[in-house]
């Protein structure tokens, strides 16, 4: 038996382990121990059946042992990393749970139920006129009102020109900046909305706001206690 004849069996063992799903480190260690015993038996057979006139060089045995040991350590390291990733995932979800119930500021639609919505406009620096444009869920403009040329937050009351409350529902908000009568910037206004769900998605964090709007964590510019 030669080194070449023993490698297919060893490679098969390695392939088998590569297909095993992440399990407890204890189970992996048991498998490795069994495979190592098999490897030693095969190595013993190789030594007993070698050509006495042309024995296998001792360095070849050392290479085989070192190779198996290296693979063994890699498998154990992978199991350890998988365990750590699992713990980090649990910790991550615990951190996400702390976001639920908080109010996040983001460029998003807002749900109006009669309570004022805090809007944080960011007009263009060159603007000499600024309007807030409000649209309903169908995209129909329901209100347009002049704003101070300022980035200060304000409370949108959700009432029409006669002081009557607008219907409950989801509304979008745009800030239109004009200079010398020309529109220079129109962008979605940032609003504060309550977070009702936080979840991991595609390697990132997605927050669901009241009313069903979803935003990525990267879109959040501020967070506060519920008002």
Domain assignments of the chain as residue spans, ordered by start = 3-91, 105-193
Average pLDDT over residues 77-90: 54
- Is residue 179 within 8 A of residue 125, CB to CB? The reply is no
Instruction: Supply the DSSP symbol for 167.
Output: P
What is the second-level CATH architecture of the domain 105-193?
Sandwich (2.60)
Structure token pair of residue 90? 């649990």
End-to-end Cα spacing for the chain: 78
How far is Cα 78 from Cα 72, in angstroms, rounded to an integer?
Answer: 10
Structure token pair of residue 75? 């498998």
* Residue 201, CA distances (Å) to 87, 206, 214 in order: 18, 6, 11
Beta-carbon contacts of 25 under 8 Å, excluding residues fewer than 6 positions away, are 76, 79, 80, 83
pLDDT band at residue 205 under the 50/70/90 scheme: confident
pLDDT computed for residue 69 by the predictor = 64
pLDDT tens, 146-198?
Answer: 999 888 999 999 998 888 999 999 999 999 999 999 999 999 999 999 999 98
Statement: the pTM of the whole predicted model exceeds 0.85: no
pLDDT tens, 130-149?
Answer: 999 999 999 999 999 999 98
């Amino acid at each position: 038996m030669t080194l070449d004849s023993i490698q297919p069996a060893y490679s098969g063992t390695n392939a088998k382990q590569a297909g095993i799903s992440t399990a407890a480190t204890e189970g992996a260690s048991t498998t490795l121990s069994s495979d190592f015993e098999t490897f030693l038996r095969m190595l013993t057979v190789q030594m007993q059946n070698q050509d006495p006139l042309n024995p296998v060089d001792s360095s070849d045995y050392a290479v085989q042992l070192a190779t198996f040991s290296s693979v063994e350590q890699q498998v154990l390291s992978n199991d350890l990393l998988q365990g750590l990733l699992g713990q980090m995932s649990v910790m991550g979800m615990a951190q996400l749970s702390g976001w639920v119930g908080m109010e996040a500021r983001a460029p998003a639609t807002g749900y109006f139920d009669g309570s004022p919505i805090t809007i944080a406009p960011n007009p263009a620096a060159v603007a000499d006129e600024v309007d807030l444009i409000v649209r309903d869920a169908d995209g129909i403009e329901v209100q347009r009102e002049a704003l101070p040329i300022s980035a200060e937050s304000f409370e949108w009351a959700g009432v029409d020109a006669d002081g009557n409350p607008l219907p409950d529902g989801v509304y979008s908000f745009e800030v239109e900046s004009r200079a010398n009568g020309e529109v220079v910037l129109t962008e979605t206004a940032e609003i504060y909305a309550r977070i009702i769900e936080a979840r991991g998605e595609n390697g990132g964090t997605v927050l669901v706001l009241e009313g069903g709007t979803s935003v990525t964590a990267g879109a959040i510019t501020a967070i506060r206690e519920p008002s």
